[in-house]
Amino acid sequence: MNAQSRSVTLIGAPLEEGSGRRGAAMGPAALRIAGVDQTLIELGHDVADIGDLRIVPAMDLPNHPKAHNLRIVGAFTRALESSVHDVAASGRFPLILGGDHSLSMGSVSGMARYAASKDRPLFVLWLDAHADFNSPATSPSGNIHGMPVAFFCGEAEFAEILPKDRPFVDPKNVFQVGIRSVDAREREEIHEHGVNVFDMRAIDEQGIGAIMREILDVVTKANGLLHVSLDLDFLDPEIAPGVGTTVPGGATFREAHLVMEMLSDSGLVSSLDLVELNPFLDDRGKSARILVELTASLFGRRIFDRPTRAA
């Protein structure tokens, strides 16, 4: 059923301090209860679960007035940067169970360091209602989960969270899909840095299939690695209510699965974040199960192996 059998390492990141509310720290537990490990095993993959990262606040970092809980988010950033890098370097696929979206400061930075060691460019597919390109200077909320893209592109320094010589992601290698909520200053920043944005209107007009083909083509030609960061609010809140920052008019169930199926066919994906699941807001585990089902599509589950009709 699955084209490729992979060795996957699950890394739990019970982080909620980057968002403006509590609950996302229960995300890793809900994803495990929804059967993320068993689902991957049934698809023929080798799965190791290293459990949840445990941190103590990084007291060398300042209490930043415009980046809330920086000492906790910074500690998770460091822990994830090194564990994601090490898992990738050992030849395994890091699958990060979140946790709010600030965790991508660590996961993507870890993959950026791994890609640099292989002399390959890192691309990021950011599936989200939000661009998450704020910085402490531009953020209207001070919530760090609105800042990870600017951080891993080297455009938002909060303090010395990671070594100064860390490799950054080129903003032109970031593809944002599903966007429908952007702050005023953030809009200018994205434009200025050349982030590739496919907003909901682009999905409506061009279709998600054409957009994915375009993105996968670029990554293939560059021989890149592709990190996928899936924010639950990419999906329409009608189908995925378990998230703190719902925005109406999101991707449909089938649009999201087609993204995952095309990613799976491409064989280009190196790593995955599942973020912003807030089980406290969910409807009887519905959103957790959807994230697990989407993960299954990314790892080879199909309705049929194509083609389904004789030539």
Ligand X SMILES: NC(=[NH2+])NCCC[C@H](N)C(=O)O
User: Contact positions toward ligand X, by CB under 6 A?
Assistant: 101, 130, 132, 134, 139-141, 143, 145-146, 183, 231, 233, 245, 276
**Min CB(303)–ligand X separation in Å:** 30
Catalytic annotation on 199? no
Residue closest to ligand X (Cβ): 146
**Is 165 marked active-site?**
no
Q: Are 287 and 166 in contact (CB under 8 A)?
A: no
For the chain, the straight-line distance linking the first and the last C-alpha, in angstroms and rounded, comes to 21
User: Shortest Cβ distance from residue 232 to ligand X (Å)?
Assistant: 9
Task: Kindly state the smallest distance separating residue 300's Cβ from ligand X, in Å.
Answer: 28
Is residue 101 a contact residue for Mn ion (CB under 5 A)?
Answer: yes
Least distance to Mn ion, CB of residue 9, Å: 23
Would you state the structure tokens that stand for residue 89, as one six-digit string? 């370097």
Task: Show the tokens assigned to 267.
Answer: 């064989």
Instruction: Give the C-alpha separation, 269 to 8, whole Å.
Output: 12
Nearest CB to Mn ion, comparing residues 43 and 288 = 288
If one counts every other C-beta atom within 10 angstroms of the C-beta of residue 130, the result is 25
Determine the Cα–Cα distance for residues 28 and 36; give it in Å rounded to an integer. 10
**Is position 129 an interface residue for Mn ion (rule: CB under 5 A)?**
yes
Whether 227 is catalytic is no
Q: How far apart are the C-alpha atoms of 44 and 55, rounded to whole Å?
A: 32
Q: Is 193 a catalytic residue?
A: no
In this complex, which beta carbon is closest to ligand X, that of residue 24 or of residue 262? 24
Please give the structure tokens belonging to residue 118.
């292989």
Q: Which of 130, 255, 282, 293 is catalytic?
A: 130
Helix (H) or strand (E) holding 198: strand 196-199
Using the rule CB under 5 A, is 197 a contact of Mn ion? no
Does residue 77 contact residue 109 with C-beta atoms inside 8 Å?
Answer: yes
Judge whether 132 counts as a catalytic residue: yes
Query: With contact defined as beta carbons under 8 Å apart, do 102 and 147 qualify?
Result: yes
- What is the rounded (10 degree) CA torsion for 131, 169, 81, 91? 120
Choosing from 45, 68, 85, 145, which is the catalytic residue? 145
Residue 273: which of ligand X, Mn ion, none does it interact with, CB under 5 to 8 A by kind? none
The window from 96-104, 151-159, 200-208, 278-286 that contacts Mn ion (CB under 5 A) reads 96-104
Sign of CA dihedral 48, 34, 28, 125: positive
Active-site pick, 17, 231, 255, 282: 231
Question: Which of residues 16 and 37 has its CB atom nearest to ligand X in the complex?
Answer: 16
Q: Is 231 in the site for Mn ion (CB under 5 A)?
A: yes
Which of 174, 215, 217 is CA-nearest to residue 196? 174
Nearer to Mn ion, 49 or 155 (CB): 155
Asked if 132 is part of the footprint of Mn ion (rule: CB under 5 A), the reply reads yes
- Annotated catalytic sites, by residue? 101, 128, 130, 132, 145, 231, 233, 276
Binding site residues, Mn ion, CB under 5 A? 101, 128-130, 132, 231, 233
